């Protein structure tokens, strides 16, 4: 019986393709937008998480200046860190894996007749460990190179590509500004950060070398600390804050002139906000699904009126009221389900395209597909019931006489 | 006739049908007695408003009487639920309408299959029986035509095929030739006569036209909600049925 109703419904849908397509358009758009929104949202969330992971695990960064943005003025107003601060953190704080100082400047890197404007970061051999980074080639800085500030450097993948192409740069000499500098290693590619920066556009040099020969001061702009595990980051953060207040002689009650950022915090903030945004957009899209349902009800009501004589004929040849009810209900649900399927396909396609365009990964989520499908079928039942009941309640004599 | 031993195909006793209430009450049927035996071919005539359509609706189990009794093969129809009447129509009755009432944009074969769909027959059997019915009305080769591709006479043949495909005991025809020219009307009447004579289907037909009524062998005339005249007539053409 049910199969019969389904066949009848399919026949009816085929009988009027244009009307059927217009009927389901609302559902198609509704489902497609929900799926697209969710796909983009989940991709963005996954991207944020992956990006944060790339920066390093359980990474804490100690910056000069106040608050999140800090601003140039505030930052320069507060005194820089020193290598002693780095050593103090290393020795006095428990629960940390590695600490690395960092100071940066922009510089021209030149090899042969190619030159490339990049970011030169002075740091220690701990930098790789803190950032969870590995060498594709070559070696890390040695103790003596760090102590003496030797003119050696490790290239980021982009810099290596720009200057050397497919050649092996290890052992070659490049110039940073006017300074000749030997390449001792190449970093593996890390890709873009969550903030859209190319992390591979970097040249690492010993901190002392940068301070003496490139910038001419002994400032440490920030300190990167890798906590041993996620659970201890909060405690480590508090300990560092206490230690730095002490070392920088900040009176009780006065505000910090530095701040310690926990990437975990940023990650969850980003993840949460992108989840909220996804939910919000999906809710807006879901409203269009309901509007689509109203569209189905409209057309079904028109269809019942238009097919009154047909209904009369069906009743005359022996259809029961419930046969007619089932027919129209199945027709509405079938239409809605068709709309759902087309919407899912379009939504996935649009989502994948958008994710490609925004450069975020595509995350397959079977749950949302099932939910969308079930929801559109439910819309069909809810909005199809009223017209179907109206059809089933028709008086056969009146229906047969209807023009 | 052996009415004393077996119940009549159709038996109305003191059937009334009133519409509305109070001042506006319309007495469409005011006490009808009618008995139709199996195998009869009956014409129902009368001016509009005479109650013949109301009577046909009751006979066709599409409507129920206000009072009185309707027995179909001895079974009282008046007490049946709408669903039971639907089952009665599905299994024992066939309908042919003035306006054909075919489903548009639906092939002749699918139209003929319609009653069988509600009987829950499998598709293969529906095809076979619908094709046979189309053959019987002389429309072989038009199975895949939709109504708009068929002439009026052909459409009415499809409708007749649809009515007989479920092998009904009674065929109700409501002005089956009302929308057709006289030549086509003759063809349709020949077809109905053949169904009556060869398949033994009881036919009750409403008509306005005496020529059409002349094809039957009994004419029941309605006037003002009562049967004015009920007479057995001789067929104008060829064979006279042996009673």
Average pLDDT, chain A: 86
Residues A385, A286: Cα–Cα separation, whole Å: 20
- pLDDT at site A273: 84
- pLDDT at site B143: 92
Does B66 lie at the interface with A, CB-CB under 8 angstroms?
A: no
Instruction: Give a yes or no: residue A68 inside a domain.
Output: no
Residue A251: band (very low, low, confident or very high) from pLDDT cuts 50, 70, 90: confident
Does B110 lie at the interface with A, CB-CB under 8 angstroms?
A: yes
CB-based contact A396 B62, cutoff 8 Å: yes
Instruction: Give a yes or no: residue A74 inside a domain.
Output: no
What is the least distance, in Å, from the CA of B86 to any CA of chain A? 5
Closest chain B residue to A315, measured at CA: B86
- pLDDT at site A72: 47
Same domain, A281 and A371: yes
- pLDDT at site A286: 81
Report whether pLDDT(A75) > 70.
no
- pLDDT at site B243: 33
Instruction: Give a yes or no: residue A43 inside a domain.
Output: yes
Continuous segment of H or E residues that includes residue B30: strand B26-36
Q: Which of A313, A320, A323 sits opposite B101 (nearest CB)?
A: A313
- pLDDT at site A57: 66
Same domain, A273 and A245: no
Lowest pLDDT segment from A4-13, A72-81, A209-218: A72-81
What is the least distance, in Å, from the CA of A7 to any CA of chain B? 10
Report whether pLDDT(A9) > 90.
no
Contacts of B80 in chain A (CB under 8 A): none
CB-based contact B110 A11, cutoff 8 Å: yes
Boundaries of every domain in chain B: 39-64+82-232
Same domain, A376 and A240: no
Same domain, A19 and A114: no
- pLDDT at site A141: 93
Closest chain B residue to A318, measured at CA: B90
Residue A120: band (very low, low, confident or very high) from pLDDT cuts 50, 70, 90: very high
Across the range A33-58, mean pLDDT stands at 81
Q: Which of B101, B110, B118 sits opposite A400 (nearest CB)?
A: B101
Same domain, A89 and A218: yes
Size of interface A-B (CB pairs under 8 A): 69
Interstrand relation of A222-227 and A258-262 (parallel, antiparallel or unpaired): unpaired
ipTM value, please give it: 0.91
Contacts of A316 in chain B (CB under 8 A): 60, 62, 89, 95, 101
Same domain, A96 and A164: yes
Number of domains in chain A: 2
Closest chain A residue to B88, measured at CA: A318
A187-229 pLDDT, tens per residue? 998 877 656 678 899 999 999 999 998 888 888 888 999 888 7
Helical residues (DSSP H) of B16-167, grouped into ranges: 52-59, 82-92, 108-118, 123-136, 152-164
Does B115 lie at the interface with A, CB-CB under 8 angstroms?
A: yes
Q: Which carries the bigger pLDDT value, residue A67 or residue A45?
A: A45
Same domain, A143 and A276: no
- pLDDT at site A196: 66
Same domain, A242 and A296: no
Continuous segment of H or E residues that includes residue A299: helix A263-306
Q: Which carries the bigger pLDDT value, residue A122 or residue A14?
A: A122
Task: Answer with the one of A226, A256, A286 that is the final residue of a domain.
Answer: A256
- pLDDT at site A1: 64
Q: What is the span of the domain harbouring residue A334?
A: 2-51+268-401
Instruction: Give a yes or no: residue A58 inside a domain.
Output: no
Contacts of A321 in chain B (CB under 8 A): 82-83, 86
Does B83 lie at the interface with A, CB-CB under 8 angstroms?
A: yes
Task: Answer with the one of A256, A284, A312 that is the final residue of a domain.
Answer: A256
Closest chain A residue to B61, measured at CA: A316
Q: Which of B82, B91, B118 sits opposite A321 (nearest CB)?
A: B82
Same domain, A109 and A11: no
A218-227 pLDDT, tens per residue? 888 889 998 8
CB-based contact B117 A397, cutoff 8 Å: no
- pLDDT at site A340: 92
- pLDDT at site A71: 47
- pLDDT at site B239: 43
Contacts of A318 in chain B (CB under 8 A): 86-87, 89-91, 93, 115, 118-119, 166
Cβ(A47)–Cβ(A194) below 8 Å: yes
- pLDDT at site B38: 93
Same domain, A181 and A204: yes
Q: Which residues of A279-312 are buried (b: 16+ CB within 10 A; e: fewer)?
A: eebbeebbebbbebbebbbebbeebbeebbbbbb
Instruction: Give a yes or no: residue A69 inside a domain.
Output: no
Contacts of A320 in chain B (CB under 8 A): 82-83, 86-87, 118
Same domain, A93 and A28: no
- pLDDT at site A367: 87
Across the range A68-96, mean pLDDT stands at 74
- pLDDT at site A177: 86
Residues A183, A157: Cα–Cα separation, whole Å: 13
Residue-level pLDDT, tens digit, chain B, 243 residues: 444 557 899 999 999 999 988 888 889 999 999 999 999 999 999 998 899 999 999 999 999 999 999 999 999 998 899 999 999 999 999 999 999 999 988 899 999 999 998 998 998 999 999 999 999 999 989 999 999 999 999 999 999 999 999 999 999 999 999 999 999 999 999 999 999 999 999 999 999 999 999 999 899 999 999 999 999 886 544 444 433
Contacts of A315 in chain B (CB under 8 A): 62, 86, 89
Q: Report the percentage of chain A scoring pLDDT > 90.
A: 34
Interstrand relation of B75-76 and B93-96 (parallel, antiparallel or unpaired): unpaired
CATH 3.40.640.10 fits B39-64+82-232, yes or no: no
Contacts of B120 in chain A (CB under 8 A): 1, 4
CB-based contact A4 B90, cutoff 8 Å: no
Same domain, A249 and A279: no
Contacts of A303 in chain B (CB under 8 A): none
Lowest pLDDT segment from A151-155, A250-254, B116-120: A250-254
């Amino acid at each position: 019986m049910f199969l019969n109703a389904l066949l009848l419904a399919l026949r009816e849908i085929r009988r009027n393709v244009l009307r059927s397509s217009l009927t389901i358009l609302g559902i198609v758009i509704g489902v497609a937008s929900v799926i697209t929104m969710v796909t983009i949202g989940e991709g963005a969330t996954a991207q944020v998480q992956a990006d944060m992971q790339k920066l390093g695990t359980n990474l804490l960064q100690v910056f000069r200046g106040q608050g999140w943005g800090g601003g140039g003025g505030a930052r320069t107003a507060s005194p820089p860190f020193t290598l002693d601060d780095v050593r103090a953190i290393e020795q006095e704080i428990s629960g940390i894996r590695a600490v690395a100082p960092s100071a940066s400047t922009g510089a021209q890197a030149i090899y042969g007749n190619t030159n490339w404007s990049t970011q030169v970061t002075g740091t220690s051999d701990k930098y790789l460990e803190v950032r969870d980074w590995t060498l594709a080639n070559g070696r890390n800085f040695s103790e003596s190179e760090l102590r003496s500030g030797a003119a050696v450097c490790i290239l980021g993948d982009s810099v290596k590509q720009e200057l050397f192409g497919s050649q092996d740069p290890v052992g070659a000499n490049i110039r940073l500004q006017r300074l000749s500098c030997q390449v001792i290693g190449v970093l593996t590619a890390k890709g873009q950060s969550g903030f859209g920066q190319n992390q591979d556009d970097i040249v690492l040099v010993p901190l002392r070398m940068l301070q003496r020969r490139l910038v001419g001061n002994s400032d440490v702009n920030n300190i990167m600390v890798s906590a041993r595990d996620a659970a201890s980051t909060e405690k480590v953060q508090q300990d560092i804050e206490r230690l730095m207040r002490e070392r920088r002689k900040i009176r009780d009650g006065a505000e910090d002139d530095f701040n310690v950022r926990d990437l975990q915090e940023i990650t969850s903030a980003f993840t949460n906000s992108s989840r909220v945004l996804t939910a919000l957009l999906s809710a807006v899209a879901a409203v269009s699904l309901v509007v689509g349902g109203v569209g189905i009800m409209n057309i079904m009501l028109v269809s019942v009126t238009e097919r009154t004589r047909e209904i009369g004929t069906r009743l005359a040849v022996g259809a029961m009221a419930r046969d007619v009810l089932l027919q129209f209900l199945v027709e509405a649900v079938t239409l809605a389900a068709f709309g759902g399927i087309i919407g899912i396909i379009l939504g996935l396609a649009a989502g994948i395209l958008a994710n490609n365009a925004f450069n975020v990964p595509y995350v397959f989520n079977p749950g949302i597909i099932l939910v969308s499908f079930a929801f559109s079928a439910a819309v069909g039942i809810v909005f199809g019931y009223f017209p179907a009941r109206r059809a089933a309640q028709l008086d056969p004599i009146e229906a047969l006489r209807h023009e | 006739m052996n009415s004393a031993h077996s119940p009549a195909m159709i038996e109305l006793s003191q059937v009334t049908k009133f519409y509305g209430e109070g001042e506006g009450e319309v007495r469409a049927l005011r006490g009808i007695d009618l008995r139709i035996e199996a195998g009869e071919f009956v014409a129902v005539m009368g001016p509009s408003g005479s109650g013949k359509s109301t009577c046909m609706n009751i006979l066709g189990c599409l409507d129920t009487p206000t009072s009185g009794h309707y027995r179909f093969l001895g079974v009282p129809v008046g007490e049946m639920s709408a669903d039971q009447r639907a089952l009665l129509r599905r299994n024992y009755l066939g309908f042919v309408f003035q306006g054909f009432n075919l489903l548009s944009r639906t092939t002749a074969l699918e139209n003929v299959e319609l009653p069988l769909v509600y009987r829950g027959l499998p598709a293969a059997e529906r095809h076979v029986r619908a094709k046979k019915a189309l053959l019987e009305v002389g429309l072989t080769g038009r199975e895949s035509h939709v109504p708009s591709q068929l002439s009026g006479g052909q459409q009415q043949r499809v409708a007749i095929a649809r009515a007989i495909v479920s092998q009904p005991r009674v065929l109700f025809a409501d002005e089956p030739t009302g929308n057709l020219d006289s030549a086509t009307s003759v063809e349709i009447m020949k077809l109905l006569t053949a169904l009556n004579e060869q398949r033994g289907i009881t036919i009750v037909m409403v008509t306005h036209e005496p020529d059409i009524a002349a094809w039957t062998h009994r004419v029941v005339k309605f006037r003002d909600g009562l049967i004015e005249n009920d007479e057995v007539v001789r067929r104008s053409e060829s064979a006279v049925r042996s009673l």
